Each structure stands twice: as C-alpha cells, then as structure tokens.
C-alpha cells in the first residue's frame, strides 16, 4: 500500500483555518478549500512509486482489481476530498451519465477547448457526490415545496419579488419552480442587482430563517443566485451526518469541514453565486424541477464496526470506523477493490503503512492484506464492483 501526499487547492471560498487545524499545522493565512486524494489528472496524489494515476496506468488490473476494471474501466472511479468551506460555493447541478456523454460529445464536435471558460462538459462522466460533516456543516440541497418558497420570499416584504411569489402560487410545483428560476436567471442584470440589494437588506433586518441568505448575499452582492438559493432547502448537518447529491439536484455548500467523495468528473453547471459562466439553457435542461427532501444520511453500522453511508451508485462507497479506547482486535479491511483510507481523528495503524494521524491517507490496491487498529476515526473509500 502507498502513503499519499496530497494537493491542497486554494480556491477563494476555502477556509483559512479548518484544514490546518485538522492536520495540526499553522494556518498559512491563505484559503485552503480542498485536499484531493485519488488519481484525478488535475491533482493526482503522489506516492513513493510516482503519481497515483501513473501507478494505476502501469497495471490497472493489479491496482484496481479485475472486477473494478471490468465495471469502470482502467481508472480509479472516485475522488476523495477534505472540503473546507469558509464562504458559499457556487450554486450548481451535475448531469446524469447520458447527459454528460451527450454534452461532452457535442462540445467536442464543435471544437470548444476543454479549458474554455464557457465549456460545460470537461469529460463524459456523471458526478454524483456525498458530503459527510466533520463539523457543523451548512448547505443548500434540492428545491423547497413551491408554497414554502413563496412564503419565504413573501416574508421579506420586498415588492420586486412579488411576481415570483405569484408564480409559485399559480402553477403546479415543477412548472412553478422552472418558471421562477428561469425568470431570476434571465432578468435584466441591473434590475436584478437592485432586487437582490433589497432582499439582502430585508434578510439582514429579519434574521432567523433568513440569516443564511443574508450571509450568502454578503459574499455575492447583487447575484441572482441569492434569490435562486431561497428556492432551495437549507440544511445544517451535525458531525457524522451526510448528504447525497444526485444528478440534476441544485445544491451549494455554505460553511463547514467535511469529507467529500464523488465520481471522478469535473462536470458542473452553475446557477449563480459565481463570477463564472452560467449557461442558462443547458442548466434548465439538466435541473430536476421537483421538490425534494434533502434526505440527511446517517451511517448504518454493521457487526464488524464499519459504518456505511448508503448511496444508490457504484462508483464510490464511503464508510467509517470509529475506533475506541480499549479495542483489542484489529479490523480486517482486505477487499477485492481499491481503497483509500483517511484518518480524521486520533491515531490509527494501517497495515505496513504505519501510523496515520488526522489528514493522512493511504491507497490500498485490490486484494492487499489490510488491517486497521488504534484509537481514532478513519474513513474508507472504495467502489461497489
């Protein structure tokens, strides 16, 4: 198995302290948004054998196992991250597999450069993801019931949002949500900026349920995504709780530290809260306009002590082991699939890789004998093959 050296991405929305505190080092003063663990070509983990993507390329069957290669191809199908949000991320959705393939082929055929700022599809894969909170974690996930969204907007007492309130009351759920999001994203920019300013002032004055949106607006003044965000469910996860984000579900992370796992893709369509490109027609094709419960996940414990976060996809499987004081027998984690193990608390011993402290991780090839012991918490990322 390989101890991993991982890249920390300094995106502007990142916390300046959360990752540093977890791994026990002095903050740099700069944002540290994500630590990537995996074989993504954008920032592959490094091992003593070389970059992890190159290690896997040399012998996919050995590193990933025959079943994983047969099902997902000769690539590690997931990317594991520590994610530390100090400010809201962009409001976004991800395509399903068919939409991703169609979109990628279309942009390739039109010769859109893969690094072009207006490019939507960087690859032909979907991007389901799961975020598990390590601290209190705030986010937006899925549409509210239109009547609830109308009541929230009406409670601001802002005349310029009344047309959206009326639309939400006038039409069936899916149609109302589509019309309002379309209207918000296609409104005259100057008029929308003035509306968002009024909304911000009202949200700051009222507080309570409006406080998260006032916070968003402080980071993105005048952005239509502030109003779009009010159409979504606000969720506050407690440590150990998680959210699964499937295709077409609008979402944004607002604040907190978590472990995130996703299918190995960069495909994002943005709805707002960003200076980046927003492709409204393509976005409206991808978004699922249906009210949803955020569906907070709690891990399901198995007899061997593994706590699994159940999801409906196979590209990743996330679980954790909470190892208490006084435990004697190690946990056997040997599997026919590839694994990344990440310590987030205490000190754990992983096979011949030795001790892991918070923020340290290892890649375990398929069928490699692996045991974990010690006192602490370790997350296990693998696939269902």
Q: Which residues are catalytic?
A: 270
Burial of 283: CB neighbours in 10 Å, binned 0-12, 13-18, 19+: buried
Q: Which of 224, 200, 201, 235 is nearest to 273 (CA)?
A: 224
Q: How far apart are CA 174 and CA 289, in angstroms?
A: 5
DSSP 8-class letter at 30: S
Supply φ then ψ for residue 308, to 5 degrees.
Answer: -105, 135
Quick check: 38 and 79 in contact, CB under 8 A? yes
Q: How far apart are CA 244 and CA 257, in angstroms?
A: 16
Q: How far apart are CA 220 and CA 91, in angstroms?
A: 11
The alpha-helical segments, DSSP class H, found in the chain are 18-23, 52-58, 60-64, 66-72, 97-109, 146-154, 162-170, 173-186, 189-206, 211-219, 225-229, 280-286
Q: How many CA atoms lie within 13 Å of 271's alpha carbon, on the beta-carbon side?
A: 32
Quick check: 209 and 237 in contact, CB under 8 A? no
β-strand partners of 382: 317
DSSP 8-class letter at 231: T
> SS3 for 376?
strand
Place of tokens 């100090």: 86
């Amino acid at each position: 198995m390989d101890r991993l050296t991982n890249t920390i991405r300094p995106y502007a929305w990142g916390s300046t302290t959360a990752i540093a505190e977890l791994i026990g080092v002095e903050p740099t003063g700069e944002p540290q948004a994500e630590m990537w663990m995996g074989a993504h070509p954008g920032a592959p983990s490094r091992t003593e054998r070389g970059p992890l993507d190159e290690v896997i390329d040399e012998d996919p069957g050995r590193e990933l196992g025959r079943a994983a290669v047969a099902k997902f191809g000769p690539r590690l199908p997931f990317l594991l991250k520590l994610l530390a949000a100090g400010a809201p991320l962009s409001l976004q959705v991800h395509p399903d597999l068919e939409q991703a393939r169609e979109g990628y082929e279309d942009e390739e055929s039109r010769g859109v450069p893969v690094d072009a700022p207006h490019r939507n599809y960087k690859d032909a894969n979907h991007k389901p993801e799961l975020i598990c909170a390590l601290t209190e974690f705030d986010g937006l996930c899925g549409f509210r019931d239109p009547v609830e969204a109308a009541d929230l907007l009406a409670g601001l007492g802002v005349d310029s949002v009344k047309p959206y309130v009326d639309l939400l009351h006038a039409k069936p759920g899916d149609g109302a949500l589509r019309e309002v999001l379309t209207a918000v994203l296609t409104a005259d920019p100057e008029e929308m900026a003035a509306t968002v300013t009024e909304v911000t002032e009202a949200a700051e004055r009222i507080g309570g349920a409006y406080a998260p949106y006032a916070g968003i607006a402080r980071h993105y003044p005048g952005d239509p995504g502030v109003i779009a965000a009010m159409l979504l469910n606000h969720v506050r996860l407690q440590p150990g709780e998680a959210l699964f984000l499937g295709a077409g579900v609008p979402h944004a992370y607002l604040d907190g530290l978590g472990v995130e796992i996703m299918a190995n893709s960069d495909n994002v369509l943005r709805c707002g809260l960003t200076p980046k490109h927003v492709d409204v027609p393509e976005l409206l094709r991808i978004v699922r306009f249906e009210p949803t419960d955020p569906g907070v996940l709690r891990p399901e414990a198995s007899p061997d002590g593994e706590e699994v976060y159940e999801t409906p996809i196979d590209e990743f499987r996330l679980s954790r082991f909470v190892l208490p004081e006084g435990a004697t027998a190690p946990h056997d984690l040997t599997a026919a699939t590839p694994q990344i193990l990440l310590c987030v608390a205490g000190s754990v011993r992983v096979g011949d890789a030795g001790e892991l402290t918070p923020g340290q991780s290892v890649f375990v090839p398929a069928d490699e004998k692996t045991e974990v012991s010690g006192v602490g918490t370790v997350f296990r990322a693998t696939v269902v093959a």
